[in-house]
Structure 1
């Protein structure tokens, strides 16, 4: 039973992630991981997170998040800052340009997510999962 449910989750996840990634790239020239990182940074205290914390929040390993942050910096969306208390600690800080990118891309993200879930709700392989996800109370 668990394997069948997990297969549905993987199928739905892959389908929605693909649609989100295509829409963000097509309309805003940013990848899905970049968008998620910018969203997390925009909601963080002072707009900054330690690299490892960002990696944990968006589901990437340390090496992948380092490459991601390098791309965000090159685009002017973030900058790095050293921790005042621990000079070995590195923070990623969202810039005004990064906040603008999040604001511009958020409607596309949310519209694409809703449309993808609407489409998936008609697929018998994942329709029950979509219905369950949409009726469960959001996690705080």
Structure 2
């Protein structure tokens, strides 16, 4: 279906008796697409020493924060990653030499993340591989207009 056909009246072909089923369909298809596309993209990133696509997002956000560093609590919110999972990824990025963290004693356990020499610019170095993998998985199924439309719809879910 072309982007210009993405109107509610064109979705009657599903034949659902209950229009609420649309939300079920949306959810299950988001999850299935994620499971289908993630393995190949992850495989490509591993050739660059990146074991999980979330690592790219973490490195990018820490790089964007500059010399002040990236507070871990703010990163949880930006990336919609629970604290325990983010902490695990940060530990792995530390072990691989991409990040370092400083603990700030301010009455709370506050952590600030900084790029190491290895992590500095890593996003730029890895981006070509990541971009190629994403395009390889998506471009056979979506035109650029459809990719923009899908991006817009998904961003609505993040708002």
The answer to whether the superposition gives a TM-score over 0.5 is yes
Structure with more contact order per residue of length (Cα contacts < 8 Å, sep ≥ 6): 1
Q: Which residue of 103, 107, 120 maps to 2:128?
A: 107
Higher radius of gyration, 1 or 2: 2
CA deviation digits over 1:79-131, x for unaligned, max 9? 112348x3632111112311232121111111111111113449xxxxxx757
Distance 1:101 1:12, change over 3 A: same
After TM superposition, list the pairs within 5 Å mapping 1:21-32 onto structure 2.
Answer: 21-25=42-46, 27-31=47-51, 32=53
Q: Structure 2 length as normaliser, TM-score?
A: 0.67
Q: Distance in 2 between matches of 1:137 and 1:10?
A: 15
SS at match of 2:120: helix
User: For residue 149 of structure 2, what is the aligned residue in structure 1?
Assistant: 132
> Counterpart in 1 of 2:80?
59
1:8 Cα offset (Å): 2.2
**1:28 Cα offset (Å):** 0.6
**SS, match of residue 81 in structure 2:** coil
- Alpha-carbon spacing, 1:64–1:137, altered in 2? closer, same or farther (3 Å): closer
1:3 paired with 2:24, answer: yes
**In 2 relative to 1, CA 16–56 (structure 1 residues): closer, same or farther, beyond 3 Å?**
farther
Structure 1's unaligned 5+ residue stretches are 123-128
User: How many residue pairs get matched?
Assistant: 131
Q: Take 2:24 and 2:64, find their aligned partners in 1: how far apart are those partners?
A: 34
What RMSD, in angstroms, separates the aligned Cα atoms of the two structures? 2.9
Compute the TM-score of the two structures, normalised by the length of structure 1: 0.75
Three-state SS of the structure 1 residue aligned to 2:114 is strand
Cα deviation, residue 6, structure 1: 2.1
Could you tell me which runs of 5 or more consecutive residues in structure 2 were left unpaired when the two chains were aligned: 1-21
